[in-house]
Amino acid sequence: MSAVGAPLLDVDDLVVRYPVPRGLIGLLRRRPQLAVHAVEGVTLVVEAGELVALVGESGCGKTTTAQAVLRLVDPLSGSIRFQGDDITQLGMRALRPLRRRMQIVYQDPYESLDPRLRVQATVEEPLLIHRMGGSKGERASLVSDALARAGLSPPELFLDRFPHQLSGGQRQRVAIAAALVLDPQLLVADEPVSMLDVSVRAGVLRLLEELKASGLGILMITHDLSTAARFADRIAVMYLGRIVEEGPAGEVVRNPQHPYTKALLSVVPRRDPRMRRRPQILRGETPDAVRIPSGCRFHPRCPIAIDVCTTEDPSLRRTDSTQSPHHRAACLLA
Amino acid sequence: MTALLQVEDLHVWFDLQDGGELHAVQGVSVGVERGERLGLVGESGCGKTTTVLALMGLLPPSASASGRVLLEGTDVLAGGEASMRPHRWSDVAIVFQGAMNALNPVRTIGSQIVEAIELHGEAGGKAARAQTGELLESVGIPAARASRFPHELSGGMRQRAAIAMALSCHPKVLIADEPTTALDVMVQAQILELLDSLCRDFGLALILVTHDLPVVAQLCDHGAVMYAGEIVERGLVDTLYHAPRHPYTRLLFAATPDLGHETEEIVSIPGAPPRLDQPLVGCPFRPRCDSAFEPCATSRPLLRRVADRHAAACHLNDRPSQAPG
């Protein structure tokens, strides 16, 4: 039974590591087993009716975090609670009924949809897998409802189409409909609009906004801060497996505390040519997640790092200059 | 004075398997001067990449082109491959989106650049290797990394290597087709900064092909917005943002989320672009336009001058009281 008042999704100190293959020679020479530290202590909450954006560059661990939340990869430590229930250690069989309550929409609707299946079959498939929806007629009406909810109306117009007969925006709506047909409580959206043309992105994002308003909790993974700022309630910025800043979207964007967030925001191109600013470009690239720097993991690229940053690993905490009690940053100098 | 690069009334058709034709580029005229940066913007299928492939003479055999591509006054399109060949790479060079595809995976980046330099007779042997080192340094890659293979470099470094290779014959015009699309924001900023400094330091003219309006707003002086195979508006980027004269330009900006405008409504543009394998009647944007009126259904608006250095293809501009934007 779910605990009353528990958050929809409550991730605590999550750690996910992928072993690096040593090869036979490495094994014989007893080289130490290395691991990619994909997620290193992520704590995150998503409430029902809330859209949380997980923002960061490739390799920062945002997608691994989402996969662990859905139990598609196994965490090394930490806990994942869904509606109050600890699902961190659940086996395959016990996970099954949960899967329908947490669904994912992938980035590329050109790849995530089976090209040989008509829209009707694509959206019906999850019902068949979960043995839901009752009779054929009942399933058909659930499929139509899901399509309508995803903004494909009238549904009859789309049921018999193949993916290649749909535009990119319509394909992504079909993928969303296939997630909605199971009536989930949590939707993970992994870069849901980055493959779409600008003119249709807003439509898909507004759809997520409507779903949120109807009570769905949404974890959106994105590299696009402008989109996160406009559509998310809260933003969590990840760097090398850690959340380095988290807070209400407007707060994070207008009053960033962590030097990484500040740098990221400064390089986001603006629509208005008069807003050309001097971007604060970080040199080099994100270090390899196999060898995490000592102390603050951002210190080798940080423009304001001091000696203590090389030894002390800052935790996520409130800072003096934040307005919201929920705005936190992991920086010794913030 | 003759323009550095001037494209006049360019048309491109693709032969379709069913015997039909797709009119991908429908009368594009555009140009750049030395040191100028032009952003060619539009959504997928609008003809922006086909336009630049045509002006590089790199269209596939199934395509045919008409119009003029004038390089310092000389038409390089008319004589086919023979007239284009001496200018490709040495006057106009191109960098593509996926740098991995532009580079040979089984050869070091250095040897590929040396080969480009030698093939075009720029230099040979030791001199070519020295030039390669300088080129790599100029795009921010330490010369010692010339011996690396493409897969040993990050996405950003590969894109830099592809830019170095494009610059190997000292072109006057660099075309960059979605050069930062697959890259992270911080790496994108690094590449945009590099393109900016190349234009500044070497007087290179840049044609940036992208779907990303903010990137154009940040890097380019001029912008040309394409829709359904034609340029629907052209002007200074400042004018395009602050005083657009085509509804598509205005709506594209309004569809782009922007930092600092978090509470603003983001519009979506209903419908989809028209098919280009059928003749277009009236304004191609009319079915999606929020301000269409009678003439839009029947007569196709031409790209006309609406102000100094500003042109748009919209009937609303014929009614001064209703100028769009």
Query: pLDDT per residue over B175-234, tens digit each?
Result: 999 998 878 889 899 999 999 999 998 899 999 999 999 999 999 999 999 999 999 999
Q: How far is A287 from chain B (nearest CA, A)?
A: 11
Whether A273 and chain B come into contact, CB under 8 Å, resolves to yes
For the four alpha carbons of B189, B192, B196 and B201, in that order, the dihedral sign comes to: positive
How many interchain CB pairs under 8 A, A with B? Answer: 117
In a domain, A245, yes or no: yes
Identify the CATH number of the domain in which residue A246 sits. 3.40.50.300
In a domain, A223, yes or no: yes
Whether A1 and chain B come into contact, CB under 8 Å, resolves to no
- Residues of A within 8 A of B266 (CB-CB) are 201-202, 205-206, 230
- Residues of A within 8 A of B215 (CB-CB) are 269
Q: How far is B92 from chain A (nearest CA, A)?
A: 27
Judged by CB atoms closer than 8 Å, whether chains meet at B241 and A273 is answered as yes
Alpha carbons A53 and A46: distance in angstroms, whole number: 10
Judged by CB atoms closer than 8 Å, whether chains meet at A272 and B217 is answered as yes
In a domain, A163, yes or no: no
Whether B214 and chain A come into contact, CB under 8 Å, resolves to yes
Q: How far is B27 from chain A (nearest CA, A)?
A: 23
Judged by CB atoms closer than 8 Å, whether chains meet at A269 and B272 is answered as no
For A285, the closest of B154, B213, B258 (CB atoms) is B154
- On whether the CB atoms of residues A229 and B235 are closer than 8 A, the answer is no
- On whether the CB atoms of residues A109 and A195 are closer than 8 A, the answer is yes
For B255, the closest of A58, A167, A201 (CB atoms) is A201
For B255, the closest of A167, A202, A269 (CB atoms) is A202
Candidates B157, B185, B222, partner chain A, best to mutate (most A CBs within 10 A): B185
For B257, the closest of A227, A250, A274 (CB atoms) is A227
In a domain, A325, yes or no: yes
Both tokens assigned to A307: 């000696």
Whether A143 and chain B come into contact, CB under 8 Å, resolves to no
Judged by CB atoms closer than 8 Å, whether chains meet at A227 and B264 is answered as no
Whether A201 and chain B come into contact, CB under 8 Å, resolves to yes
Residue range of the domain that includes A48: 9-101+184-329
- pTM for the full predicted model: 0.91
In a domain, A148, yes or no: no
Q: Where are the alpha helices (DSSP H) in B139-268?
A: 155-166, 185-202, 213-219, 237-242, 247-254
Helix B125-138, helix B109-119: angle, nearest 10: 120
pLDDT in tens, chain A (334 residues): 455 689 999 999 999 999 888 888 878 888 888 889 999 999 999 999 999 999 998 889 999 999 999 999 999 999 999 999 999 999 988 998 899 999 999 988 888 899 999 999 999 999 999 988 889 999 999 999 999 999 998 999 999 999 999 988 899 999 999 999 999 999 999 999 988 889 889 999 999 999 999 999 999 999 999 999 999 999 999 999 999 999 999 999 999 999 999 999 999 999 999 987 788 999 877 888 888 999 999 999 999 999 999 999 999 999 888 888 899 999 999 8
Whether B258 and chain A come into contact, CB under 8 Å, resolves to yes
Q: Quick check: ipTM above 0.90?
A: no
Judged by CB atoms closer than 8 Å, whether chains meet at B266 and A229 is answered as no
For residue B238, what is the nearest residue in chain A, using CA coordinates?
A: A273
In a domain, A194, yes or no: yes
Q: Which of B54, B44, B55, B67 is nearest to B14 (CA)?
A: B54
Q: Total domain count for chain A?
A: 1
What count of other Cβ atoms lies within 10 Å of the Cβ of residue B122?
16
Alpha carbons B191 and A52: distance in angstroms, whole number: 30
In a domain, A123, yes or no: no
